[in-house]
Structure 1
């Protein structure tokens, strides 16, 4: 995997993305050449139309990232990829057309864009037919040896068998430290030289999946493998890298303290994040004010009561603030106390169901972002009662409040809407990953991926 700004990206995804970018340039050039030949115009030098080419490629590729074309679903299903691809190219062309309107004389001809769009569809689908066949092969999967044969090892086995997995386990070695759950594991006593054994198997990484490390670590063998270029990883770090979440079942305070992350050098990043929040929230409030006013009127007409809903939420460092949303529930929704929204919740109004699905009810929260109580990206703020209960039942829940809460977040784009303790636990794993590995790059990725959640709101309630 390639680590980019503390976030890991599978090699197969990087290769696919680079091929897509090259093919988008090709599609743009073919579209220009075809249009030029139709009107009898000399195509000219490629450098003369560099702005239009780069704009076309950038807009379409960003749209592809936004709709999830590099996610696991798109990588394993051609039908899924093709449907999202058509949406992405359409959104990209719309964005380029808007740019052409804003920048007159940019050379982004509508007829050329139409041809480029057609060529892009053919090229990108062809790319997934050709390259996609090789993405799941051993060529792009790291060869991993697992030391351990217990529950941790079994979890790694199941993870490796999932579609889109970036690694394959070539051997399990039981370290004689408990019950052997993985039956195909080789006993440690049967391996004379662990380093030579790993070399013969072509292992690129060793994962310590030991239930109990005491007197079980083969330190000399691990040191020898490390010096020959084999990557040595512990179970928690490996799962974090492969899944994009902090595994609460295996982490302990010492791992959180000594592992890479929670960097103190975030002054510049935090300042840049705050500047972005101020500029983006101000602009978004200005652009969406007519929509907010319109739906505020519709909310009052649909159901008697206030148009806006205020509720205390827990923010940065555990401080409370009032979150503001367009009201989507009946005014007596919390007469029996606050509780999670359920599927087909009867408290939600007719209009409320719609504005929740398309996230219009979230727009007034940009005021909280402008005031500095929230950010665009961060863990979702919860009500104080839920926080008190969850801190008692879930380890490290308070650590999610070490970063400013957000309108969207890593948990929101990776896990559907949750309405139980177990759901809160899964979302906490993603929130901790964000708090641990925050960078502006991860914020940008989350903002782009939020479009996918808005367009396909599988988990909205």
Structure 2
């Protein structure tokens, strides 16, 4: 399916992203931010939010926003996979990752037009280059805004190694070939189930 022919999909998707994000920010983040900020400070004296450069639509970089779940700052020139960062995750960080609470500030990224609720995982340049080296077709994913959740994220969550990263990427390509508002809703509902059951990782 050619992306240019997807206007009937992109327009309602954009409207849905804006309305849903406003509702989440007003009715959830408005009270969640001070609570999470306090608990993060009490445990680790860390700041509330974590920002990092990620690759967005058409290769444009943006600062992704998350609740801080780790101590310190990851190295910029030596990026790590999630298994390598495990030692830095705080106890509260493990909890908010399990229930995907750390991802909630990304609704602000969605409202700013940098992300969508459903889309490919927003990767760092170094990991994106590695994925495209093994799966050249993945370059097409840059025609879409990255998402808070994705088909690949549902299947694999945080990648512990390159093999899992590539498998997750292939699921995102399946999503690319089946773009529809119905597909997005199914992914959102699956994500909500994961959040409720605490199956995030």
Q: Do they superpose with TM above 0.5?
A: yes
- CA change 1:457–1:396 in 2 (3 A) is farther
Q: Deviations over 1:96-147 (max 9, x none)?
A: xxxxxxxxxxxxxxxxxxxxxxxxxxxxxxxxxxxxxxxxxxxxxxxxxxxx
- CA change 1:307–1:263 in 2 (3 A) is closer
Contact persistence 1:380–1:409 (CA under 8 A) = yes
From 9, 12, 17, the equivalent of 1:277 is 17
Cα distance in 2 for partners of 1:287, 1:437 equals 32
TM-score by length of 1: 0.41
Q: Identify, as 1 or 2, the structure richer in helix.
A: 2
Cα distance in 2 for partners of 1:310, 1:332 equals 10
Q: Give the unaligned 5+ runs of structure 2.
A: none
Moved more, 419-428 or 272-281: 419-428
Cα distance in 2 for partners of 1:459, 1:447 equals 14
Q: Deviations over 1:199-243 (max 9, x none)?
A: xxxxxxxxxxxxxxxxxxxxxxxxxxxxxxxxxxxxxxxxxxxxx
Q: Give the unaligned 5+ runs of structure 1.
A: 1-260
Alpha carbon RMSD of aligned pairs, Å?
Answer: 1.9
Deviation at 1:322, TM superposition (A): 0.3
Deviation at 1:454, TM superposition (A): 1.3
Q: Secondary structure at the match of 1:290?
A: helix
Larger Rg: 1 or 2?
A: 1
1:378 matched to 2:112? The reply is no
Equivalent positions of 1:152-231 (< 5 A) are none
- CA change 1:270–1:343 in 2 (3 A) is same
Q: Secondary structure at the match of 1:328?
A: coil
1:365 matched to 2:98? The reply is no
Q: Secondary structure at the match of 2:64?
A: strand
For these two proteins, the number of residue pairs brought into alignment is 200
1:453 matched to 2:194? The reply is yes
Deviation at 1:301, TM superposition (A): 1.9
TM-score by length of 2: 0.92
Equivalent positions of 1:391-430 (< 5 A) are 391-430=132-171
Deviation at 1:293, TM superposition (A): 1.8
Find the counterpart in structure 2 of residue 158 from structure 1.
Answer: none
